[in-house]
Structure 1
Amino acid sequence: MKWHEVSIQTKESNEESFALFLNSISKGISVEHSLDILKQKIDDFEDKYRLDPKDYPESDIRITVYFDQTEDIEGRLGEIHDFIESQPLDEKSAIIIETKEINEEDWENEWKKYFHSFRISEQFVIVPSWELEDYEFQPDDKLIKLDPGMAFGTGDHPTTSMCLKMIEDTVKPEHKIIDVGTGSGILTIGSHLMGARDLKATDIDELSIKVARENFELNGCAEDIVLETGDLLKSETGTYDVIIANILAHIIDDMIDDAHDRLNAGGSFIASGIITEARDDIIAHMEGAGFSVEEVLEENGWVSILARKA
């Protein structure tokens, strides 16, 4: 199968606007920051990352989005150009758009040079399978072995890392958990490492289901996880102690009431993928539905919320 790769180089200040738009016309995006930006944002950068400078944009950010060969790529490019023209973006004249066609197997190998082992919290460490033999970890580390493939969720995006921090503080072995929109399966794997064994992971995208299954097998947790194709919580009839959803703000908003209905008393709702501008509206909806907001984390314009059912 072939894919159309569209890369957009732009100012970092335009990231949120592009992310919201591109996620609405595709199944996901990747964002590469220049090394100068990464060094400013990440403590102990040199210890955590082993990056080749030539693989990263010289300045600002590069946003990459993929469309499969069945897509009308000229139509999609037209939508992107129309978006740029209609939005108050910074330095529009400096935005560079490049496209190319790639084979799926080339894509799957190309992204590996950007993805390396790194610590994401006090206990969780993300390790791609091709670095397992070389990674030196501490006795208390909880290793998430990951091959993201073409599903999104590598742990390096703030929305995923904040979710994992909340999982680290919230999930108990006795909890029954569902991860809605599991993507690469990273949050379900993190929950399993915290001792949970009654786990369910769902995604509407069949490619994500395939990648998640492979990662569950890689981490030796597949037998404890029910993996299904599902549209949010619409077909769920059971109840859970923890519901996890790292998606987008408007989708989180759509599932708040269902999340409240599907949680046991005292259960937790970990919601992420929320832009800062949508935070107050999401919190208001949660509180109106009967949730108590316990914790709000913010990083680089993104928000994660831990809410509890009274």
Structure 2
Amino acid sequence: MKWSEICVHTTQQAVEAVSNLLHEVGAQGVVIEDVEDYDQMMAEDHFGEIWDVSGRESYPTSGVYVKAYVPASGDFQDTFAAFKKEVDGLRHVLDIGTGDVTVVEMDEEDWAHSWKQYYKPVKISQHLTIVPLWEDYEPQPEENVILLDPGMAFGTGTHPTTMLCIQAIENYIRPGDRLIDVGTGSGVLAIAAAKLGAERVEALDLDAVAVESARQNVETNGVGHIIDVKTGDLLKGMTGEYDLVVANILADVIMLFIDDAYARVKPGGYFITSGIIGQKRAEVTEALKASGFAIEETRVMEDWVAIIAKKD
């Protein structure tokens, strides 16, 4: 299968807006390449681990590359032309830097090998380490390993938004809790919850590729008896009450279902949201409060924000 890699050279400020446009043309996820992230990954992190990454020359010397992969369909050229026009239109409201947009066609196999070389085991919280399925890794005593193959669903678990979310889950989950993971992607949040003591996890995603990827990762980690992965459009059709609802998706999407999340969270339970770029923090915070949540905690990593809201 042929895939088109779309790359936009932009600014950190415009990452979310560009990501939204990429989703609109069929991308299931985005890759953000920021040289500041690279330099931080090469440094010692909060847990004393080193992230083995090479290839600094592929990162921009300034600004950010936002990349996504979409099927190279017959009408792609028309879609790509319209996408470039939409990106250029962002100049009226945002600093998008150069705004250069390029596209490269590649086979799925080429895409897979191009990113696997950068994906190594990384400790993301006090008790959890994410290990690529193809890596040999010997865990330390009391170290809980999540084996992951994100495939075309994206979501390696090592992006700041995912790390923030998993660290929050680790802090707030209690043995026997029931949880919903909205927009599960590769299933990493659901698997983390299961390994941290959840009794039952509903993992939802609208995309069939993500659902299949998550199911495979769930089985690989031996938590299929805890996690039910299924197709779902946010929280539509969900009933009952849960101890935690978690969502690591774009801020604009989070604000579409805050009221639904409030209805699904038990009194005393939590809504953990991540994927929020810094300039959207206040907007999401106010929307959570307006629905009845109390802000329990806000966590920041680089320019990304996770908000933990409590239903009193």
* TM-score w.r.t. length of structure 2: 0.89
Aligned with 2:112 (options 103, 108, 115) = 108
Residue of structure 2 in register with 1:192 after alignment: 194
Moved over 6 A (4+): none
Relative to structure 1, is the Cα distance of residues 91 and 255 closer, same or farther in structure 2, using a 3 angstrom cutoff?
Answer: closer
- Give ranges in structure 2 of 5+ residues lacking alignment: none
Aligned with 1:68 (options 66, 71, 83) = 71
Deviations 1:24-71 (A, max 9, x none): 43322112233x652246641695222232673262433221111336
- Give ranges in structure 1 of 5+ residues lacking alignment: none
Q: Deviation of residue 114 (structure 1)?
A: 2.0
Secondary structure in structure 1 of the residue aligned to 2:4 = strand
Residue of structure 1 in register with 2:279 after alignment: 277
* TM-score w.r.t. length of structure 1: 0.90
Relative to structure 1, is the Cα distance of residues 105 and 38 closer, same or farther in structure 2, using a 3 angstrom cutoff?
Answer: closer
Aligned with 1:230 (options 229, 232, 237) = 232
Relative to structure 1, is the Cα distance of residues 99 and 291 closer, same or farther in structure 2, using a 3 angstrom cutoff?
Answer: same
Code of the aligned partner of 2:80? L
Relative to structure 1, is the Cα distance of residues 205 and 37 closer, same or farther in structure 2, using a 3 angstrom cutoff?
Answer: closer
Structure (1 or 2) with the greater helix fraction: 1
Residue of structure 2 in register with 1:4 after alignment: 4
Deviations 1:155-212 (A, max 9, x none): 2211111000101101112101111110000000110111112111010000000100
Contact 2:122 2:129 in 1 (8 A): yes
CA–CA separation in structure 1 for the residues paired with 2:227 and 2:277: 30
Q: Deviation of residue 284 (structure 1)?
A: 1.6
Q: What is the alpha-carbon root mean square deviation over aligned residues?
A: 2.2
Secondary structure in structure 2 of the residue aligned to 1:279 = helix
Work out whether 1:28 is the aligned partner of 2:29: yes
Residue of structure 1 in register with 2:142 after alignment: 140
Residue of structure 1 in register with 2:38 after alignment: 38
Aligned with 1:129 (options 129, 133, 137) = 133
Secondary structure in structure 2 of the residue aligned to 1:130 = coil
Code of the aligned partner of 1:63? V
Contact 2:49 2:123 in 1 (8 A): no
Q: Deviation of residue 252 (structure 1)?
A: 0.8
CA–CA separation in structure 2 for the residues paired with 1:72 and 1:192: 42
User: Mean Cα displacement is larger for which, 295-304 or 243-252?
Assistant: 295-304
CA–CA separation in structure 1 for the residues paired with 2:124 and 2:74: 35
Q: What is the count of residue pairs matched by the alignment? A: 305
Please list, as runs of the form range in 1=range in 2, the aligned pairs for 1:180-259 lying within 5 A after superposition: 180-259=182-261
Secondary structure in structure 1 of the residue aligned to 2:202 = strand
